[in-house]
């Protein structure tokens, strides 16, 4: 990124004055004794350790469990800013859902020449067995996470769309609970929108997506790959908070044309399966025959309209970073409106002219794998060594279609608590969106991820990032 002078700080303006959204919090903070604040900061780690909020880091000698660092300085968004963001998020999620439906049906957007056919033809997440099938209620993306970054007072950009199985919502909820437990007086000073009703909203939204013919209250279950999955804590947490059953593939079987779960009273049919298992492992009869994580025959029951799978199989086609680069066209095609939230400028390396530009400017760009996630497989040009850049150049030349590139944005900063006082660190934001036939609900807040290393732009927990509580103020 370029010099700190160009970085927008969300708490302080260029003259060091506190911005209006932070006024109440800053007055409270300044009145506290520094030693007490340091003790409180140390307490937070103990709270998270006792709660068991950990994640696994794969690809290391042992898939070790780590604590996600929590920073106790909240990230604060004004009511007016949130209203503007919400309109843009809702527009984008509507477009995503319409795009996925179109790709599996008439493919009007391809016929119109707005996106190339290769976007799905070469996409591993494209599922031919979803062609011509419409999920119950016409909803593909039941739970969506839209990753946002900020570069100025009114400049928000979408960095990524998570339409498959967005994770991290348990951290949003635990961050708030921790803050309320440690600093209850803050929530009487500042009127902050609640996030704690998310599990109830999720349960209600999923139930509204139950298949036609469901009798009585829909039965919802959360399908987890099991305790060794990096997000298992979240699966168990959400099932518990929703009052839903947490199940593994071995707990389920097809009985009389329905997917049923084992209970103490025999097998009970399920109406909605909130799955946290990848498409490939959902059904050994349809996808990977080696899989023991899913339910053999699940896709037959699904296509017969006798169960809802959330998110729908095949939604991963919209998670692709090559698809992301076409999102402005996609939004305009399905909504008839210009995008309210712009994309970050994106160079598609599959395009020869873009590839030439990227190869000439690798030291200034961020290069990402089209199917990558979690901060892995990417190059942050300004922070990379000459050897890393040379290595990435070889990868780009060998498989250009596998990469996109973006400029290194001067991401906004929020203060974090350090031993020497407050220090700015770069942040992003993942709001969580629920979609059902009854409408779109956006939880007022989301997960703020923060790059705890000074100057770092990588906020992913797998790469040393932490999290903050996100406050959306009431009017």
Domain borders along the chain are 212-306, 345-408
Within 10 angstroms of residue 250's Cβ, the number of other Cβ atoms is 11
**Per-residue pLDDT for 461 more than 70?**
no
| CATH number given to 345-408 | 3.30.1490.270
Which residues contact residue 248 at a Cβ distance below 8 angstroms, ignoring those fewer than 6 apart?
223, 224, 225, 226, 293
Confidence (pLDDT) at 52: 59
Q: What is the mean pLDDT of residues 188-195?
A: 94
Strand-pair category, 347-348 with 403-407: antiparallel
Q: Which fold has domain 212-306?
A: Rossmann fold (3.40.50)
Confidence (pLDDT) at 420: 87
Mean pLDDT rounded to a whole number for the chain: 91
Confidence band of 240 (pLDDT split at 50, 70, 90): very high
Which residue in this structure is represented by tokens 């506290």?
32
Q: Do domains 212-306 and 345-408 have the same CATH topology?
A: no
Confidence (pLDDT) at 63: 45
Within 10 angstroms of residue 437's Cβ, the number of other Cβ atoms is 12
276/452: higher pLDDT: 276
254/124: higher pLDDT: 254
Which residues contact residue 16 at a Cβ distance below 8 angstroms, ignoring those fewer than 6 apart?
none
Q: What is the mean pLDDT of residues 110-130?
A: 91
| d(C-alpha 27, C-alpha 63), whole Å | 43
**Per-residue pLDDT for 60 more than 50?**
no
Confidence (pLDDT) at 462: 62
From 7-16, 59-68, 352-361, the region with the lowest mean pLDDT: 59-68
| d(C-alpha 372, C-alpha 138), whole Å | 28
Q: Express as a percent the part of the chain with pLDDT over 70.
A: 93
| d(C-alpha 435, C-alpha 418), whole Å | 39
CA torsion 245-246-248-249 (nearest 10°) is: 30
The backbone torsions φ and ψ at residue 413, rounded to the nearest 5 degrees and listed phi first, read -120, 155
Question: CB-based burial of residue 148 (10 Å sphere; 0-12 exposed, 13-18 middle, 19+ buried)?
Answer: buried
Q: What is the mean pLDDT of residues 211-234?
A: 93
CA torsion 354-360-362-368 (nearest 10°) is: 20
Confidence (pLDDT) at 419: 86
Each residue's pLDDT tens digit, 285-297: 999 999 999 999 9
From 1-5, 38-42, 185-189, 388-392, the region with the lowest mean pLDDT: 1-5
**Are the C-beta atoms of residues 470 and 445 closer than 8 Å to each other?**
yes
**Per-residue pLDDT for 361 more than 70?**
yes
Confidence (pLDDT) at 408: 86
Each residue's pLDDT tens digit, 100-109: 999 999 999 9
Its sign, for the CA torsion 282, 311, 336, 345, is negative
**198-207 helix and 232-242 helix, angle to the nearest 10 degrees:** 80
Which residue in this structure is represented by tokens 């999102």?
327
Each residue's pLDDT tens digit, 391-440: 999 999 999 988 999 998 889 999 999 988 899 999 999 999 999 999 99
| pTM flag (> 0.85) | yes
Its sign, for the CA torsion 402, 408, 413, 419, is positive
Q: What is the mean pLDDT of residues 367-375?
A: 74
């Amino acid at each position: 990124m370029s010099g700190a002078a160009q970085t927008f700080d969300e708490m302080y303006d260029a003259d060091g004055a506190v911005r209006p959204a932070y006024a109440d919090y800053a007055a409270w903070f300044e009145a506290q004794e520094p030693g007490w604040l340091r003790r409180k900061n140390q307490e937070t780690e103990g709270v998270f350790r006792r709660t068991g909020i950990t994640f696994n880091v794969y690809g290391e000698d042992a898939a070790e469990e780590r604590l996600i660092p929590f920073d106790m300085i909240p990230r604060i968004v004004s009511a007016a800013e949130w209203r503007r963001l919400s309109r843009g998020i809702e527009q984008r999620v509507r477009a995503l859902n319409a795009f996925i439906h179109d790709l599996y049906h008439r493919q009007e957007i391809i016929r119109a020449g707005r996106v190339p056919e290769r976007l799905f033809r070469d996409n591993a997440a494209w599922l031919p067995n979803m062609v011509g099938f419409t999920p119950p209620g016409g909803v593909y993306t039941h739970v969506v996470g839209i990753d946002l970054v900020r570069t100025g007072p009114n400049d928000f950009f979408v960095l990524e769309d998570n339409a498959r199985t967005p994770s991290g919502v348990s951290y949003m909820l635990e961050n708030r609970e921790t803050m309320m437990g440690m600093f209850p007086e803050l929530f009487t000073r500042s009127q902050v929108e609640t996030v704690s009703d998310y599990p109830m909203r999720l349960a209600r939204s999923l139930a509204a997506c139950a298949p036609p013919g469901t009798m009585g209250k829909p039965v919802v279950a959360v399908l987890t790959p099991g305790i060794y999955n990096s997000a298992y804590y979240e699966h168990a947490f959400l099932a518990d908070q929703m009052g839903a059953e947490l199940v593994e593939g071995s707990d389920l079987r097809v009985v009389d044309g329905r997917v049923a779960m084992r209970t103490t009273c025999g097998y009970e049919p399920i109406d909605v399966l909130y799955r946290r298992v990848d498409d490939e492992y959902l059904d050994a009869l349809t996808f990977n025959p080696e899989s023991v994580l899913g339910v053999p025959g699940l896709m037959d029951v699904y296509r017969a309209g006798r169960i809802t799978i959330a998110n729908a199989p095949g939604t991963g086609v919209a998670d692709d970073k090559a698809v992301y680069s076409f999102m402005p066209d996609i939004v305009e095609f399905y909504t008839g409106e210009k995008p309210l939230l712009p994309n970050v400028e994106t160079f598609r390396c599959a395009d020869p002219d873009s590839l030439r530009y990227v190869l000439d400017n690798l030291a200034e760009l961020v290069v990402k794998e089209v199917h990558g996630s979690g901060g892995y497989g990417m190059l942050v040009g300004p922070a990379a060594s000459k050897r890393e850049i040379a290595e990435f150049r070889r990868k780009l030349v060998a498989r250009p279609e596998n990469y996109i590139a973006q400029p290194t944005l001067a991401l906004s900063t929020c203060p974090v608590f350090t031993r020497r006082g407050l220090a700015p660190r770069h942040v992003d934001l993942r709001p969580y969106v629920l979609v059902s036939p009854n409408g779109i609900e956006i939880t007022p807040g989301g997960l703020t991820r923060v790059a705890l290393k000074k100057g770092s732009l990588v906020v992913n927990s797998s790469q040393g990032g932490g999290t903050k509580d996100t406050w959306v103020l009431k009017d």
